[in-house]
């Protein structure tokens, strides 16, 4: 753990994939199913993990070497979405340490929420299955507002739902865009170094106010 200790915080907001839940195995499995359906050899789920934070863009890049600006991407993405939706609950788990962290926030009467770029099509399924999210005070998906992170719109939407100012909140995430969005919104930012981070990521260069290597370390940042 490193960085600032925050004072006067009244709520904690989190990214979803790579911060609260480990969804990489299901994301990778959906992409692997697509390879197998085309007679291609499996790559193994470990090949997809570092790219899980990139969603369909990352999964299709690993599985087929296809980027969003290529003609084949749109159809592959839709097939991937359908396959992921069908297996979204098979392997996804809450990260170790997240449940006691949430329980500790509740014991301090600190509300918490989720701000993710994942579409509501998927977040509603995850929120319905995992009991963790029953106590969330705000859940903002990637298509809730007109802009995704790194734009601050979704974080500001969460603040509105909590009836708090951005300066009353901190945002915890495992991607540089999370830190950019948090800063733009006027929040304190915390880099979750236990998350996906991405290939060749330089988390120290993200400009986060603090970083944690385990979810429970977030408590130590709340002065």
User: For 108-214, where are the alpha helices, taking DSSP H only?
Assistant: 120-129, 153-162, 176-185
Residues classed as catalytic: 15
Give backbone dihedrals phi and psi of 108, rounded to 5 degrees, phi first: -90, 5
3-state class of 203 per DSSP?
helix
42 class by beta-carbon count within 10 Å (0-12 exposed, 13-18 middle, 19+ buried): middle
H or E element in which residue 14 lies:
strand 11-14
CA 142 – CA 151 distance, rounded (Å):
11
3-state class of 136 per DSSP?
coil
Structure tokens that stand for 1 in this block:
């753990």
CA 32 – CA 44 distance, rounded (Å):
8
């Amino acid at each position: 753990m490193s960085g600032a200790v925050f004072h006067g915080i009244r709520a904690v907001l989190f990214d979803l994939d790579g911060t609260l839940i480990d969804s990489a195995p299901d994301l990778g499995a959906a992409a692997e199913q697509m390879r197998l359906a085309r007679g291609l050899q499996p790559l193994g789920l470990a090949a997809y993990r570092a790219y899980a934070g990139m969603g369909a863009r990352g999964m299709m890049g690993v599985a087929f070497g296809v980027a969003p600006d290529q003609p084949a991407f749109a159809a592959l993405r839709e097939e991937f979405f359908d396959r992921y939706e069908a297996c979204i609950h098979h392997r996804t788990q809450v990260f170790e340490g997240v449940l006691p962290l949430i329980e500790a926030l509740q014991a301090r009467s600190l509300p918490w929420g989720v701000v993710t770029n994942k579409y509501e099509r998927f977040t509603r399924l995850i929120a319905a299955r995992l009991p963790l999210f029953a106590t969330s005070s705000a859940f903002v998906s990637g298509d809730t507002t007109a802009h995704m992170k790194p734009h601050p719109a979704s974080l500001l939407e969460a603040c509105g739902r909590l009836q708090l100012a951005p300066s009353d909140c901190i945002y915890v995430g495992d991607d540089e865009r999370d830190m950019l969005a948090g800063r733009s919104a006027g929040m304190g930012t915390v880099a979750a170094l236990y998350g996906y981070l991405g290939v060749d990521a330089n988390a120290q260069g993200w400009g986060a106010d603090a970083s944690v290597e385990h979810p429970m370390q977030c408590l130590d940042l709340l002065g």
